Amino acid sequence: MKTKASDAKKAYRTQQWIAGIILTLGGLLVAIPFIWMILSAFKTESEVLQLTPTLWPETFTTENFIYLFENMNFAVYLRNTIIIVLCSFVGLFFNAMAGYAFAKYKFKGREKLFYLVLATMMIPGQVTMIPVYLILNQMGLTNTMAGVVLPGLVGAFSIFLFRQFMSTIPDELLEAARLDGASEFRVFMQLILPISKPIMAVQGILTFIGGWNSFLWPLIIANDESLYTLSVGLSLLKGQYGGNFALQMAGSTFMVVPIVIIFIIFQKHIIEGYTISGMK
Amino acid sequence: MKSHSKAAPYLFIGPALILLALFSLFPIVLALIISFTDIDLAGLADYSNISFIGIENYLNIFKDPIFLKSIGNTVFYVVFGVPLVIACSLGIALLINFGTARIFKAFRLVFYMPSITNVVAVAVVWTYLYNPQFGLFNYLLGLVGIPAIPWLQDPTVAKGSLIALAVWRAIGVNMIIFLAALQGIPKTYYEAAQLDGANNWKQLTKITIPLLRYAIFFVSITTMIGWVQFFEEPFVMTDGGPLDSTTSVALFIYRNGFQLSNFGYAAAGSFVLFATIIIITLIQFRLQKKNTDL
């Protein structure tokens, strides 16, 4: 009997090792593009074009990154991208406000309006792309920062998640604050938002990532290079310097590494966020 | 109970609702209207140049050889991409969930990473990896004696290459959804099964997979909807080439709308896409209902 138990334990440990090895190989496969990108970004142009590629840069250079800022407008692209990220946080605030009202107020048309919000999630981007462009054109907002930012400012899914979270806040808490004479907006700012920190963290990170990565809408709306974002600039780089892979890898590294760092710092919130949002 | 002012909730939902109405709901109506017109750049400059042409756009689009080809390509993407995404993300989630060592938590990060990275950066890196002369993939294949593969140059291989890239990007989010669902399964179920002498395979097929039914349904619906709209990968990597062999329906719409400025024609295409998505969703809900009834 005893040997049987130890046999089972042994088999279990072997299985653990096999699972670990499969995941290590898979993980390596998934990580190769990142590793190759970062290493190639520090190589010289001629080293990247060797027929036998080197893994580690022979001559370590930061020339590619300097070139991006001196000969291309990466500083401008970076500034625009940061503006978009900041604006998208205003959108996040609107989402939180709407989610709060749907969760904690009873008002006429609440259910219908909420279904309307949810319905917008079903609409594919390709359907609204052209009419939104025509609307912005009519408003005179093409080729402006407002035109780039406005269409994606609020999102139904984000409103939905805020509502889910905020409906768990007890009503008594709100009543107490109101009895103390706090205005509705103050209740929201000083009571609701601090309580909603977990969902705010998830949404904040996702908003940051979304804003940083925004590509298609800036590409459609901005004709002027001074309005380009990093990703639009990078696609321009791909077209202009098609053969210079070292430079392209430097541009990609510049886009990807900040996101990866932010993700690693806040990953707990993101991954746990899926459990918070009740996506089971 | 002190009641709040009637206006408060409307002030809270106001900004978000106005923006959603202006950039999501109203555009649907507008798209439907312009899909029955011949609006193009001339029409945009002066509305008197626009005329109603009925369902002509819809009739023409189904005679357009590139549109028909893009439908075929999109079907290819969906048929191969969706099962691959589900199988990979579920497999990885099961392995990570099975592991007890601390290292398994780190794997979540590694597999999630591709899904947060910018599509342009990713496309730039993969184009380099796929490069026939200087790319890493062909070099590695050369080391083990396999001849170079025309990753993006051959019509069929190019579709596969784009699918590989898209699966790489899609694993992370779906893996997390499966992991959350797996952690919701009570441990006692497995303990009971082990007492009855059920092996790992039995536990997987009789307990885990049936209990994951809802998560699998959710992932397959969202993945399917996403792949029907497959756009960014062919747009940035191949621009639909070679010879439109990677052009998806969404890319076709974009190209007609923003490169050729046939706004009315493109809007008609987008409604065909929208209708397809609704039909697929309804069918899947119907199937799901049938399954749970059994």
Report how far apart the first and last C-alpha atoms of chain B are (Å, whole number).
49
Pair A275, B134: CB distance under 8 Å? no
The per-residue pLDDT for range A119-172, each reduced to its tens digit, is 888 888 888 888 999 899 888 888 899 999 998 889 888 898 888 888 888 888
Structure-derived torsion over alpha carbons of residues B94, B99, B105, B109, reported in degrees to the nearest 10? -40
How close is the nearest chain A Cα to the Cα of B292, in Å? 17
Report pLDDT digits (tens) over B142-201: 888 888 888 888 888 898 999 999 999 999 889 988 888 888 888 888 888 888 888 888
**Adjacent-strand bridge partners of B52:** B37
Per-residue confidence at A80, pLDDT binned at 50, 70, 90? very high
Q: Please tell me whether residues A86 and A190 are part of one structural domain.
A: yes
Output the CA–CA distances (angstroms, integers) from residue A125 to A276, B25, B34, in the order listed: 27, 12, 16
Of the candidates A200, A202, A210, the residue with the CA atom closest to the CA atom of residue A152: A210
A76 and A180 in a single domain? The answer is yes
pLDDT computed for residue B78 by the predictor: 92
Residue A98 lies in a domain: yes
Same domain, A28 and A94: no
Considering only the beta carbons, identify the residue of A30, A33, A120 that sits closest to B110: A30
Residue A234 lies in a domain: yes
Nearest residue on chain A to B178, judged by CA atoms? A280
A128 and A34, same domain (yes or no): no
Q: Could you say which of A128, A209, A248 has the minimum Cβ distance to residue B116?
A: A209
Residue A43 has which token pair?
Answer: 């190589």
> Is position A60 within any domain?
no
- Of all residues in chain A, the percent with pLDDT exceeding 90 is 11
Chain A residue numbers touching B214 (CB-CB < 8 A): 280
**Which helix (H) or strand (E) segment is A62 a member of?**
none
Contact A127 B274 (CB under 8 A): yes
- Whether B17 sits inside 8 A of A117 (CB atoms) is yes
| Residue A142's CATH number | 1.10.3720.10
pTM listed for this prediction: 0.87
Average pLDDT over residues B108-125: 88
Please name the member of B131, B168, B271 whose beta carbon is closest to the beta carbon of A30.
Answer: B168
Which residues of chain B have a CB within 8 Å of the CB of A256? 117-118, 121-122
Asked if A167 and A233 sit in the same domain, the reply is yes
In this structure, are A83 and A11 located in the same domain?
A: no
- The answer to whether the Cβ–Cβ distance between B13 and A153 falls below 8 Å is no
Total domains in chain A come to 2
3-class state of residue B37 by DSSP? strand
What fold does the segment set B58-293 form as a domain? MetI-like fold (1.10.3720)
Q: Which domain holds residue A41?
A: 2-48
Same domain, A147 and A14: no
Supply A249's token pair.
């890898």
* Domain contains A267: no
pLDDT, tens only, B60-104: 889 989 999 999 999 999 999 999 999 999 999 999 988 888 888
CA distances to A159, A270, B40, B140 from A201, rounded to whole Å, are 14, 8, 44, 41
* Pair (A227, A136) in one structural domain: yes
Query: What is the average pLDDT across A6-32?
Result: 86
Q: So what's the pLDDT on residue B2?
A: 43
Retrieve residue A38's tokens: 């970062």
Q: Give the number of other CB atoms < 10 A from CB of residue B88.
A: 19
| A77 in the same domain as A40 | no
Minimum-distance CB partner of A279 among B92, B95, B180: B180
Domain boundaries, chain B: 58-293
C-alpha separations of B214 from A127, A131, B82, B86 in Å: 29, 36, 16, 13
pLDDT in tens, A188-213: 888 888 888 888 888 888 888 889 98
Q: Which residues of B touch A128 (CB under 8 A)?
A: 23-24, 27-28, 31
Residue A268 lies in a domain: no
Structure-token pair, residue A196: 């909603």
Contact residues on chain A for B1, CB-CB shorter than 8 A: 175
